Structure 1
């Protein structure tokens, strides 16, 4: 009996360590997989959240530049508010099977770079969640769950509370022209035993993972409402409007494109960017970091849009003695990887880099990761209170005795216009 308990404890420990080693963030593990998209199917590139037991779905897609047809499967796992495994049994959060094969795929047509596009929608007849919360989608190859190639976050809300939010200038006089502060109130009619321990509220800017701020305690607890407007809380750099470029066609130089030439693949040289050193805000339209796969050279955006090597150049000096510059946007999940890293040419005083991207419209920005691994998003872009940004507020509730964080409310607001 003692021996049995020992091995049971050992197995539980090993499983726990495996769960800790899992990746619960947006990540692509293979270089041949590109253009990962995940959004509410009602609006392309919208925040990937749906209401529980509704007709809404999540659209997920990616390209495999190896071409041909591969055996990709997927599963989903429930997570805590801070993106760790909830360690629930699949029967606790799924009312269907726990895995399925991606059957929906299309081959590229008339492109120099051959690829296969894979696509699925959630929930579906094979995988249907039955509780709200954070979920991680895991795509794996050859029926081997341990061979994960993509992980992608999405959200399911109960929508049992309402969230009212506003964006105001920073309360710090020194930052009033450069920072934006999010105040919000949770309006509820459900019993909340202890708001200081049972409620977590996460605020993000433009769905950028590293921007998130976690609120653990409301400033005021009132009958039917929880108020979060503490001084100096939930403040974000306004940053600047995203830079952008247009590669919908390789037949002419569109916005921010300096040159296009063709060898084994298409090559796009973007106009040289400058660091923003202006003290005044300049308004320009952007998509808050998003990208849209489009082409005017073919008939189908998914299969006829080709890939190109896109060359970026930033004329600027390093902000600090040590550190690295990166190109980020929704197209790479704002990931700080070698592919998105810029190389500095000291002789020319320029950063440069190359990324393989599919035809379309892209927002991007330059950020600096200093020698202490601290992200500086204003070093090359500047920061202004007037900058138009989307903010997401997610409210989680862990009921007394419950084993998971329930996503009970969501708000997507814009400091200039009404966001959807």
Structure 2
């Protein structure tokens, strides 16, 4: 028990000292289970349409017995998720400070927490501009320190994006890669220069470490931009995400080897994982790294699901040139001390522990070269060309003389179908 608790404590403490200031999804150690959903859909990218009935909800937990007096505000960001530098009154109707008013206390759980949620737009603030937004949450006593950050986007839905992801790439076929090809029809927008004024951002499976930005298309024909035969649209296929469910404290569920209670936490040990490089591809229906909060016997899992220390074991020799991380929405897609696996020479395996709320989870292991910032799947998960990946394509436009990037439209393309 001491070894398990010391491992979790060490990664949480190191996380609090190493926290960097940026605009990515982020939670400080006492906050957990950050989810950004659109109209209750937990399995869709966080993009809403400007001046529509769409709603985006940011939900999270605070590990505490009593509520904190939290506030939130919005920052408009450019296509690269850096602050646009706009005055708040330019991009918002209303006041850019509001209290987090929607909260509930956990019930019948071993770990006490407060569940919060914010839905936008609301009576306090409405987004006037399209583009990227970062919501920051902070204490009313210390407004300069972000306790939590969450990303979402607001689209004008004025362009049509059509395309496909194929295993037939410009580097050959059946080589573990996938290539995107797509068109952007901007007939409904007065884009001054189709070759230079559009920015297209491609991300896959919610990852933030391997995002591709395209400054110009391969060619144009009238009001249609073609993005074809571009080497930076060739992606490693990766593999289907691994899955587990820790929905019960009474019996093991999917992917769980054992459950035991060691005060003050339940401990869930997953079945041991192994590298999949070289294995035959196996299709599995996954959610591209997302998670769904669920306690199998509850009608209100948001406040009745418990928190458990979940133990990951990856059987493989030590890699001296890479660090290994658990990737998924449950880690906010961060290569942090908390999500980093640590090698145990005695068992010849990598081990990690995360304090997670009961639910259904997707994850994968990414190998990050020492000193690098981009994870690769080829080292542990393997790259398979039939893998089903979710590619989010977002089209931005900055008008001549403008000070912000409009999001003209976005769409999702799936590979493997």
The alignment's TM-score, normalised by the length of structure 1, stands at 0.91
Secondary structure, aligned partner of 2:125 = coil
CA distance in structure 1 between the aligned counterparts of 2:43 and 2:58, rounded to whole angstroms: 10
For residues 182-235 of structure 1, what are the alpha-carbon distances to aligned partners after superposition, in whole Å with 9 as ceiling and x for unaligned? 111100122222223311000111121112100101111111200011342311
Aligned in 2, Cα 1:358/1:42: closer, same or farther, shift over 3 Å? closer
Equivalent position of 1:135 in the other structure: 133
Equivalent position of 2:296 in the other structure: 296
Equivalent position of 1:352 in the other structure: 351
> Is the Cα contact below 8 Å between 1:73 and 1:143 reproduced in 2?
no
Confirm whether residue 110 of structure 1 aligns to residue 145 of structure 2: no
> Is the Cα contact below 8 Å between 2:166 and 2:416 reproduced in 1?
no
CA distance in structure 1 between the aligned counterparts of 2:298 and 2:282, rounded to whole angstroms: 35
Question: In the TM superposition, what is the alpha-carbon distance from 1:138 to its structure 2 partner?
Answer: 0.5
Q: Return 365-374 or 216-225, whichever deviates more.
A: 365-374
Larger Rg: 1
Q: Return 46-55 or 227-236, whichever deviates more.
A: 227-236
Question: In the TM superposition, what is the alpha-carbon distance from 1:83 to its structure 2 partner?
Answer: 1.1
CA distance in structure 1 between the aligned counterparts of 2:284 and 2:43, rounded to whole angstroms: 20
Give the 5 Å matches for 1:177-256: 177-189=175-187, 190-256=189-255
Equivalent position of 1:7 in the other structure: none
Confirm whether residue 330 of structure 1 aligns to residue 307 of structure 2: no
> Is the Cα contact below 8 Å between 1:80 and 1:404 reproduced in 2?
yes
Equivalent position of 1:371 in the other structure: 370
> Is the Cα contact below 8 Å between 2:130 and 2:155 reproduced in 1?
yes
Equivalent position of 1:164 in the other structure: 162
CA distance in structure 1 between the aligned counterparts of 2:380 and 2:392, rounded to whole angstroms: 25
Q: Return 44-53 or 141-150, whichever deviates more.
A: 141-150
Confirm whether residue 270 of structure 1 aligns to residue 262 of structure 2: no
Structure 1: which 5+ residue stretches go unaligned? 1-20
> Is the Cα contact below 8 Å between 1:37 and 1:62 reproduced in 2?
yes
Confirm whether residue 399 of structure 1 aligns to residue 399 of structure 2: yes
Equivalent position of 1:63 in the other structure: 61
Equivalent position of 1:388 in the other structure: 388
Question: In the TM superposition, what is the alpha-carbon distance from 1:331 to its structure 2 partner?
Answer: 1.2
Equivalent position of 2:308 in the other structure: 308
CA distance in structure 2 between the aligned counterparts of 1:316 and 1:22, rounded to whole angstroms: 34
Q: CA RMSD in A?
A: 1.5
CA distance in structure 1 between the aligned counterparts of 2:269 and 2:296, rounded to whole angstroms: 19
CA distance in structure 2 between the aligned counterparts of 1:232 and 1:185, rounded to whole angstroms: 16
Question: In the TM superposition, what is the alpha-carbon distance from 1:105 to its structure 2 partner?
Answer: 0.2
CA distance in structure 2 between the aligned counterparts of 1:298 and 1:390, rounded to whole angstroms: 30
Equivalent position of 2:361 in the other structure: 362
Secondary structure, aligned partner of 1:387 = coil
Structure 2: which 5+ residue stretches go unaligned? 1-19
CA distance in structure 2 between the aligned counterparts of 1:84 and 1:197, rounded to whole angstroms: 20
CA distance in structure 1 between the aligned counterparts of 2:205 and 2:378, rounded to whole angstroms: 15
Question: In the TM superposition, what is the alpha-carbon distance from 1:414 to its structure 2 partner?
Answer: 1.2
CA distance in structure 1 between the aligned counterparts of 2:147 and 2:387, rounded to whole angstroms: 36
For residues 14-33 of structure 1, what are the alpha-carbon distances to aligned partners after superposition, in whole Å with 9 as ceiling and x for unaligned? xxxxxxx95211112x2110
